[in-house]
Structure 1
Amino acid sequence: MKNWSKIFLFLCLTGLFTGRAIAQQNIQFSQYIFNTLSVNPAYAGYKEEWFAQMAVRNQWVGIPGAPKTAQLSIDGILDPQTTKHGVGLQFTSDKLGPQSSNSATLNYAFRLQLDGADTRRLSFGLGVGVAQYGLNGNALTSVDGGDGSIPVGGSSRLSPDFRAGIFYTTPYWYVGLSALNLLNNSKSVDDYRRSSTIADNIVRTRHMYFVAGSLVNVSPDLRFRPSMMIREDFLGPTNADFNIMAIFSDKIWLGGGYRTSLKLFKKTYMNTDVTSQAALIGIAQFYVNERFRIGYSYDYALSGLNGYQSGTHELTIGIAFGKAPKSSICPRVF
């Protein structure tokens, strides 16, 4: 293949695809700290009010066919008095060169109150959904012509999605563990080669997520919120985000993060030329009022990819509506 193929293979080797032919790693957002629902269904209803968020991510600006992602989510509680049942709906659209994916997921969380003051909650979450994976064959050209693995025109397939998670929170710290794309089969490279078309292999790999964070009160007008996320697909490099935000008067959030790859245990990709990736992240969030916020982040690559692109931009907008939640020590911080 030529044209798109060079770009496509380049993105594969830089870590977006790792270990499995055309199987994708999950979509990543630098501002996951503002919407943990994107990686853990047990987060649904955490804010104890209805909350809607939109995120748009333009990754690796300057590289033709680089990932472009949009996500819309809404979550809240079904029982305002006891706040035991959280629910969330999430829509995601992603495009990378000739391939695309669209998904819808319904999430449910059962929230256990662990003390009389209701300062500690343990939530168990489940999510079910469906994803559509597509490939534009017109954007691919075979060297010899007549390659049967390249679809004529567009090709797409539907795949069910199932996810599960657990989330524990207190007024000053939280921790969560989740698994996404549980129904996707793990295939070997030989299995992919035997598939009839490239489109048959476009699925997302199973992922595990570990998230944790805390809140440090320095003064009435200044707080710090360190956090981390570790993402594992058991095939490619283990990815980790480390973030810290300074919160001024509960209105202005300024901070950043560092994304890197970790070698936690031996994997087959280590015998290939897939390299570790790293990036610096700058994040800002502003609360226009108590119920409406705007966030922006910029990723600066620290790898060889930096010479081919001019960074990654991400914009988020969040709005709370309905009845305001009961007062708490740190509302909406996590």
Structure 2
Amino acid sequence: MRYPRLLLLSILGWFSQLSYVQAQQDAQFSLFMYNQLYFNPATAGADGTTRFQLLNRIQWQGYQTTSGDGGAPNTLVFSGSVPLNFIKSAVGINYVNDRIGAMGSQEVQLSYAYRININDNTLAFGARVGFQNRYIDFSKLISREPGDPLIPAGRLGVTKPDISLGIFYDASTFYVGASVSHLNQPTFNLGGSTGNSILASTAYVTTGYRWEPIYGLEIQPLILVKSLTDFSPRTMSVEGGVMATWNEWLFGGITYRLQDSYNMLAGINLLGNKALRLAGAVDLTGGGRGAKAPASYEVLLSYALPALTKGKKTIVRTPRFRY
């Protein structure tokens, strides 16, 4: 199909004009193609299997603060996704534990997607609701005046509801999705002189093209865009690259996060039905190296079960490498 290729080339050309990129409030992942439920609820059940997975990102491994306690971001995500084909739906759950220095967040999110079949393609609309707890541990901060009564003691946390919406179109040769997280822009007051901290609405756009030059080999260029909803170049993060999969078994690729890092990804689908997936990523810092450590790492473990059915025996299918 000619038009998906033209769309990808146009998007890549526009991205190349961006001169400055700034990270977002949410955690980032180099293995985003396997973690789309994190930022788009409409992708629940998209690969046609009941899948559970664990993903851990250690960013800027070895980064140290002046206190020597370490301050590099560390993010753990557990997710589950269950297709409910008998009601044209899917449900998902995310648990996220994100830490960076003395601050961190924990969240539990429930996703629902309504799926419409269009010939052999699928259009899904998704919504996510949950709670996010943001906290700061004042005991890990370095005070210029120890014992200052204006500095709170211990750990202070605030929990607020969180709402997101998304849409996802999955065709045989390409996919495209868009979503907006933190629609209600929850506000967290963690004390101190900084006042309230607002979790601003964040937009995500992802697209990819599936090309099979020879039988058993799939080549997939892909892109992920993240931005606050003001869509300013200064609040936008762009990453993309190419993945290759051989016989739905081995996969690997290279991606680039604009003005941030070069990323290498690899993994394998194991067992007779390829239900067990192991993957890893290594990011080599390219931009702003003076304020970061040289490398970041990710590890992913997931397992797929057949989709739930109603009134008849479940058919076991091999989960295809979808995105």
Q: TM-score, normalised by structure 2?
A: 0.81
**Structure 1 pair 203–315 and aligned structure 2 pair: CA distance change class (3 A):** farther
Residue 103 of structure 1: CA displacement? Answer: 0.2
2:103 equivalent among 99, 102, 121: 99
Residue 295 (str. 1) matches residue 279 (str. 2): yes
Instruction: Report the AA paired with residue 173 of structure 1.
Output: F
Residue 60 (str. 1) matches residue 60 (str. 2): yes
Residue 38 of structure 1: CA displacement? Answer: 1.0
Tell me the secondary structure at the aligned position of residue 227 of structure 1.
strand
Residue 76 (str. 1) matches residue 46 (str. 2): no
Write out per-residue CA displacement over residues 121-156 of structure 1, whole angstroms, 9 at most, x where no aligned residue: 111000000011110101113324565663211111
Tell me the secondary structure at the aligned position of residue 42 of structure 2.
helix
Structure-2 separation of matches of 1:151 and 1:186: 19
Residue 310 of structure 1: CA displacement? Answer: 2.9
Residue 317 of structure 1: CA displacement? Answer: 0.8
Instruction: Report the AA paired with residue 248 of structure 1.
Output: W
Write out per-residue CA displacement over residues 63-104 of structure 1, whole angstroms, 9 at most, x where no aligned residue: 1211001000000112x346x111001100010000111000
Structure-2 separation of matches of 1:28 and 1:258: 13
**Structure 1 pair 307–103 and aligned structure 2 pair: CA distance change class (3 A):** closer
**Structure 1 pair 100–257 and aligned structure 2 pair: CA distance change class (3 A):** same
Write out per-residue CA displacement over residues 183-208 of structure 1, whole angstroms, 9 at most, x where no aligned residue: 11589xxxx9xx84268645533210
2:241 equivalent among 240, 243, 264: 243
Write out per-residue CA displacement over residues 15-45 of structure 1, whole angstroms, 9 at most, x where no aligned residue: 55xxxxxxx6111111010121111000011
Question: In the TM superposition, what are the counterparts of 1:127-146 in structure 2 within 5 Å?
Answer: 127-144=128-145
Corresponding residue for 1:284?
266
Residue 32 (str. 1) matches residue 16 (str. 2): no
1:86 equivalent among 84, 87, 90: 90
**Structure 1 pair 34–331 and aligned structure 2 pair: CA distance change class (3 A):** same
Corresponding residue for 1:227?
222
What RMSD in Å do the two structures reach over aligned CA positions?
2.5
Corresponding residue for 1:48?
48
Corresponding residue for 1:177?
178
Q: Which runs of 5+ in 1 are unaligned?
A: 1-13, 17-23, 261-276
Residue 316 (str. 1) matches residue 300 (str. 2): yes
Instruction: Report the AA paired with residue 28 of structure 2.
Output: Q
Tell me the secondary structure at the aligned position of residue 108 of structure 1.
strand
8 Å CA contact 2:306, 2:315 repeated in 1? no
8 Å CA contact 2:260, 2:288 repeated in 1? no
Residue 167 (str. 1) matches residue 173 (str. 2): no
Tell me the secondary structure at the aligned position of residue 37 of structure 1.
helix
Write out per-residue CA displacement over residues 195-222 of structure 1, whole angstroms, 9 at most, x where no aligned residue: 8426864553321000000100011121
Instruction: Report the AA paired with residue 231 of structure 1.
Output: K
8 Å CA contact 1:56, 1:315 repeated in 2? yes
Tell me the secondary structure at the aligned position of residue 141 of structure 1.
coil
Residue 55 of structure 1: CA displacement? Answer: 0.2
Tell me the secondary structure at the aligned position of residue 172 of structure 2.
coil
Write out per-residue CA displacement over residues 220-244 of structure 1, whole angstroms, 9 at most, x where no aligned residue: 1211011100000136431001121
8 Å CA contact 1:51, 1:75 repeated in 2? yes
Structure-2 separation of matches of 1:198 and 1:256: 43
Corresponding residue for 1:9?
none
Q: TM-score, normalised by structure 1?
A: 0.79
Corresponding residue for 1:19?
none
What is the identity percentage for the equivalent residue pairs of Structure 1 and Structure 2?
26
8 Å CA contact 1:54, 1:70 repeated in 2? yes
Corresponding residue for 2:207?
212
Tell me the secondary structure at the aligned position of residue 245 of structure 1.
strand
**Structure 1 pair 15–143 and aligned structure 2 pair: CA distance change class (3 A):** farther
